[in-house]
Amino acid sequence: MTNYIPRPGRQTGQTISWFTPTTEFSNVCCVYCGVTLHGPCAPESDKEHLVARNFVPTGTMKSPAFNFIFRACRVCNSRKADAERHVSSVTLFNSPSRFESAHVNEIALRKGKSDFHPNKKGVLVQDAHENLTIRGAFGPMSVSFGMVGPPRLDIHKTGELAFSHIQGLFALICTEDYQDPLKMRLLPQEQFIWYDWYTYSDWGNPQAVEIAKRVNSWECLANIDSAEGYFKATLRQSDEGLFWALEWNQYLRLVGGISLSRMSVFEGLPDEGWMATPEGRMRQNIPHDTDSDQLFSGVVSQSE
């Protein structure tokens, strides 16, 4: 199994910092790649915010919002920043919060017109709509209609960011002493499982609902609601490993686990209701029921 000792209850408060201007007093290893940051041969490192302040709408990260600040090597820092910029642009551009807040709408529009989509050369996020054609047959009649879908997230950058966020939380919860390389606990890639992701209109997806139900009795190690609800994260634990979930900019939810083996929580899940079409398959999104939504309902036991 994994080599960690969770210390629940440490992570629910305000900003936690392992960063000091002097390298020697900051965290000894890069939380993302594990490289040693102390000593004369260490690579250059700088200050890293687990939740970048401009990942979420400007102004929502004011104290006392949760954040985690530490040192990361420059290579990891810039790779994460790149993933973050893309995911922020697309999630805010697609976020239903634009209808509720003129401020968020303005930020989403600004990001949409200043960030290029990585999968569409020379196309801005605001113009990166997907043109879809749906063909079907109803009785003797064959129909075809076009739809315009929202800009899509790049799956690699999305996975990169999810892994980084969970690595940060894992290190925060499991590390005994961040200045001692033997007492820092880092999450290796091979233990990270990303099961699925759900856009806002499908948060009632039967699999997502069932997973949330299954893990509801697991011990809650972290349940974070930060940036006025634009960043959420949870970690839970049972005999089969850890479960994690993230929610970004009130638009995207991601769920997965931490384990070296398959986790039964992701097996035998209900049918998602896909229907075959001449060109593949389609299904109807299911909005979530806010009253019974329990993905981020965990309560951390205050052991310290």
Under the rule (CB under 5 A), what is the footprint of Zn ion? 30, 32-33, 73, 76
Nearest approach, Cβ of 5 to Zn ion (angstroms)? 23
Give the nearer residue to Zn ion in terms of CB position, either 76 or 187: 76
**Residue 245, beta-bridge partner list:** 234, 255
Give yes or no for a contact between 15 and 63, defined as CB atoms under 8 angstroms apart: yes
Give the nearer residue to Zn ion in terms of CB position, either 32 or 55: 32
Give the nearer residue to Zn ion in terms of CB position, either 92 or 187: 187
Nearest approach, Cβ of 45 to Zn ion (angstroms)? 8
Nearest approach, Cβ of 30 to Zn ion (angstroms)? 3
Tell me the C-alpha distance between 256 and 207, whole Å: 12
Give the nearer residue to Zn ion in terms of CB position, either 30 or 212: 30
Nearest approach, Cβ of 78 to Zn ion (angstroms)? 10
Nearest approach, Cβ of 164 to Zn ion (angstroms)? 10
Task: Tell me the three state secondary structure of residue 91.
Answer: helix
Q: Count Cβ atoms below 10 Å from residue 178 Cβ, excluding itself.
A: 20
59: left (phi over 0), alpha (psi -120 to 50) or beta: left
Give the nearer residue to Zn ion in terms of CB position, either 37 or 252: 37
Give the nearer residue to Zn ion in terms of CB position, either 33 or 186: 33
Tell me the C-alpha distance between 37 and 19, whole Å: 12
Nearest approach, Cβ of 168 to Zn ion (angstroms)? 12
What does the longest C-alpha to C-alpha distance in the chain come to? 76
Tell me the C-alpha distance between 304 and 302, whole Å: 6
Nearest approach, Cβ of 82 to Zn ion (angstroms)? 14
Interacting residues of 290 by C-beta distance below 8 A, sequence separation 6+: none
Q: What is the spatial order of strands in the sheet that 45-49 belongs to? A: 16-17, 68-73, 45-49
Tell me the C-alpha distance between 167 and 186, whole Å: 7
Give the nearer residue to Zn ion in terms of CB position, either 76 or 300: 76
- Give φ, ψ of 175 to 5 degrees: -75, 135
Nearest approach, Cβ of 254 to Zn ion (angstroms)? 22
Give the nearer residue to Zn ion in terms of CB position, either 76 or 208: 76
Interacting residues of 228 by C-beta distance below 8 A, sequence separation 6+: 56, 57, 60, 65
